[in-house]
């Protein structure tokens, strides 16, 4: 059992699993679910905590709990896999499905982000350098303030793409056999490591300020407002730096998803 939820001793947990696997008693199943409820909260808050968009937290938690119940019912301890890993895959997939249903990143925002990507690449090729905010705004025929709003929300699409990339590659590797003792769970971890290697390589090519923002946001889990205070700049400026960094990283993620 994970150190994150030592509500009962490991021996008791193993005994509970053994009883449930033998009798398939609903009360025993529910007790196991309660012992791992922390896993749902941890995964859901990872999605919810970083977004600037409004997501129904209760919906994410409810879907995550349903996925957790399903994981308990389908998990076989005899196969030697770690339950937390097995359940995490199902919970993460449920959260992604829930956000898709809620249109977590609105279509208009997705379209604007796509347009911004294209304009950024076009100007980068034409100018031989990173375009300024003013140049991006002029090319998109919007004012700078409106461009800042696009940049402010740009990271939502990237975060969603990151989660989808890992989950979808894992599902394509073994879509129907999540509890396979041979390959799937280790492969899921390998996919995570593979994507991280791609991103680390791309991050090394960012400017110092961009690397700082990426580090504070994704490693230290600071919000944009908190990063602005650390860097003594406005939140909009942090958003711009962050979004431009993500524009550069997007190509790495796109290549990874097409493999």
Q: Which of 24, 25, 64 is nearest to 44 (CA)?
A: 64
Pick 219 or 95 by higher pLDDT. 95
Q: Convert 214-244 to b/e letters by CB count within 10 Å (16 or more is b).
A: bebbbeeebebeebbeeeeeebbbbbbbbbb
What would the pLDDT profile of 228-238 be if each residue is shown by its tens digit?
A: 999 998 877 88
**Within 10 A of 18 (CB to CB), how many other CB atoms are there?**
13
Q: Is the predicted pLDDT of residue 96 greater than 70, yes or no?
A: yes
Question: How many residues are recorded in the chain?
Answer: 259
Sketch out the chain's domains with CATH numbers: 1-104 (1.10.1740.10), 105-259 (1.20.140.160)
Residues 6+ apart with CB under 8 A from 13: 1, 35
User: Residue 185: pLDDT band by 50, 70, 90 thresholds?
Assistant: very low
Q: Which residue pairs, CB below 8 angstroms and at least 24 apart, start in 166-170?
A: 166/191, 166/192, 166/195, 167/89, 167/92, 167/93, 167/96, 168/257, 169/257, 170/89
Residue % of the chain over a pLDDT of 70 = 67
Per-residue pLDDT, 182: 39
User: Residue 133: pLDDT band by 50, 70, 90 thresholds?
Assistant: confident
Per-residue pLDDT, 71: 94
Q: Which of 191, 112, 206, 202 is nearest to 150 (CA)?
A: 112
Task: Count Cα neighbours of 172 within 13 Å in the Cβ-side half-sphere.
Answer: 10
Q: Is the predicted pLDDT of residue 174 greater than 50, yes or no?
A: no
Gap between the Cα atoms of 200 and 72, Å rounded: 35
What would the pLDDT profile of 39-91 be if each residue is shown by its tens digit?
A: 998 888 766 544 445 457 788 889 999 999 999 999 988 887 789 888 988 89
Q: Is the predicted pLDDT of residue 167 greater than 70, yes or no?
A: no
Q: Which of 216, 213, 222, 221 is nearest to 240 (CA)?
A: 213
Pick 132 or 48 by higher pLDDT. 132
Highest mean pLDDT among 56-60, 63-67, 101-105, 107-111: 63-67
Q: Is the predicted pLDDT of residue 184 greater than 60, yes or no?
A: no
DSSP state of 16: H
Per-residue pLDDT, 27: 94
User: Residue 245: pLDDT band by 50, 70, 90 thresholds?
Assistant: confident
Pick 158 or 50 by higher pLDDT. 158
Gap between the Cα atoms of 210 and 103, Å rounded: 29
């Amino acid at each position: 059992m994970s150190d994150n939820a030592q509500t009962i001793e490991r021996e008791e947990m193993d005994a509970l699993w053994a009883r449930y696997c033998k009798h398939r008693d609903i009360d025993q199943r529910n007790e196991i679910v309660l012992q791992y409820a922390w896993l749902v909260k941890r995964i859901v808050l990872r999605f919810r905590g970083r977004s600037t968009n409004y997501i129904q937290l209760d919906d994410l938690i409810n879907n995550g709990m349903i996925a957790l119940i399903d994981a308990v019912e389908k998990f076989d301890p005899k196969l030697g896999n770690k339950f937390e890993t097995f359940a995490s895959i199902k919970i993460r997939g449920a959260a992604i499905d829930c956000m898709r249903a809620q249109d977590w990143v609105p279509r208009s925002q997705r379209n604007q982000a796509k347009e911004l990507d294209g304009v950024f690449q076009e100007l980068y090729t034409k100018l031989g350098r990173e375009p300024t905010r003013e140049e991006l705004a002029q090319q998109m025929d919007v004012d700078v303030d409106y461009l800042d709003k696009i940049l402010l929300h740009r990271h939502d699409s990237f975060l969603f793409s990151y989660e989808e990339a890992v989950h979808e590659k894992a599902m394509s590797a073994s879509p129907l056999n999540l509890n396979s003792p041979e390959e799937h769970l280790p492969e899921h971890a390998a996919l995570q490591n593979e994507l991280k290697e791609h991103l680390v390589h791309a991050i090394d090519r960012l400017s110092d300020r961009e690397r700082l923002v990426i580090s504070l946001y994704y490693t230290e889990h600071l919000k944009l407002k908190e990063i602005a205070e650390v860097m003594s700049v406005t939140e909009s400026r942090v958003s711009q730096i962050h979004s431009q960094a993500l524009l550069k990283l997007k190509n790495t993620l796109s290549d990874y998803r097409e493999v």
